[in-house]
Amino acid sequence: MSLDHLSRTAYTEDHEAFRATVRQFLEKEVAPNQAKWAEDGIVPKALWPKAGEIGMLCPTVPEEYGGLGLDFGYNAIVDEESAYYGRVTTGFSLQSDIVANYIVRYGSEEQKKHWLPKMVAGEVVTAIAMTEPGTGSDLQGMRTTAKKDGNHYVINGSKTYITNGQNADLILVCAKTDTDVQPAWKGVSIILVEAEREGFQRGRNLDKIGQDEADTSELFFNDVRVPITNCLGDEGQGFIYLMSELPQERLSIAVSAQASAQRAFDDTVEYTRDRKAFGKPILDFQNSRFVLADLKAKLQVGWAHLDWALARHMKKELTPEEGAAAKLWHTDLQWEVMDKCLQLHGGAGYMNEYPIARAWRAARVTRIFGGTNEIMKELIGRKL
């Protein structure tokens, strides 16, 4: 089963040639290992250089820093195919869609030359540490501090729900470099912290209700000393940088949500066609057909909207409110599709051995991470 891309409008022939390469990689390297990685609770770091070798990591990074210098459409294809075909949360999108952009846009020349080629090659795995145990979506309320001591920062605090936390070699840590300035967001900076720094400690690989293979961790910083040159961009500008990059992060979430919803729908059509009740296929019951027809119509609208949003983003025209709206709508659709498709599986839908059960569990978090959907409504509402 493969994602139908023939009616898409956001992509060129070059994009689709890349899609074929990505799909082959997922078929060979990812799909056969789903169960093993879910049991282990982590995707092995050995996968990253293999993905880097075929250009799957950070394709938008400029050529002078080891990348391919391509547009975000290539990232989106990796996201779509990983969600539809691979059905594994690898952590690639965090590195390619989020972290790479921060370093390209705000990093010093030295930072870009040192880190970006390694990220593209998969030699370095990255994470970004925003969320704290007591703050959630309220980034201004973070309590992690980075205080100056000579020509170093001394970082203290903790982070949680950090994607790639166990595997990360480099963490972009959001911290308060000024705890007195008002408003509070003016004191936030982004500091690069190498995992081998003394005082840095990885906590638990967190036990989640879904995305079992995803590495999601606690991180602790106890008097971690890093050079002041590890500050990403200007001190005190971290919150502005975060807000500037969130539209792409939220579009990335929308892309994966739409593709995973499509896979659940396609699997369910196949299941209801084969599964019989009262002497006929479940698909032959009017209720089943009507539920699936409604979902098919909404998925059709979803793909059209996604192509619109991708086209706008590739022209650098997607606004923060439009990114929030995409994240809100596509993750809400994803959950509706998952829940109704699970219902059509009957008792089988509640069994983890069926893909729909695992997909349903994995989908629950998408309305939470990247900013909760309630926060998305708040962001959209502020611009009314």
Residue 113's identity, in one-letter code, is K
- Rounded Cα distance, 65 and 119, in Å: 10
Contacts of 271 (CB under 8 A, 6+ apart): 282, 344, 345, 348, 356
- Rounded Cα distance, 298 and 221, in Å: 45
Query: Closest Cα partner for 130 from 192, 175, 185?
Result: 175
Q: What is the DSSP letter of 233?
A: S
DSSP H helical segments within 200-285, as ranges? Answer: 238-274
Residue 293's identity, in one-letter code, is A
Query: Closest Cα partner for 97 from 128, 129, 60?
Result: 60
Name the residues annotated as catalytic. Answer: 249
Long-range Cβ contacts of 184-189 (<8 Å, 24+ apart): 184/140, 184/141, 185/139, 185/140, 185/239, 185/240, 186/236, 186/239, 187/236, 188/139, 188/140, 188/142, 188/236, 188/238, 188/239, 188/242, 189/146, 189/231, 189/232, 189/235, 189/236, 189/237, 189/238
Dihedral sign, Cα of residue 95, residue 97, residue 102, residue 104: positive
Q: Are 58 and 116 spatial neighbours (Cβ–Cβ below 8 Å)?
A: yes
Residue 255's identity, in one-letter code, is V
Dihedral sign, Cα of residue 233, residue 236, residue 241, residue 242: positive
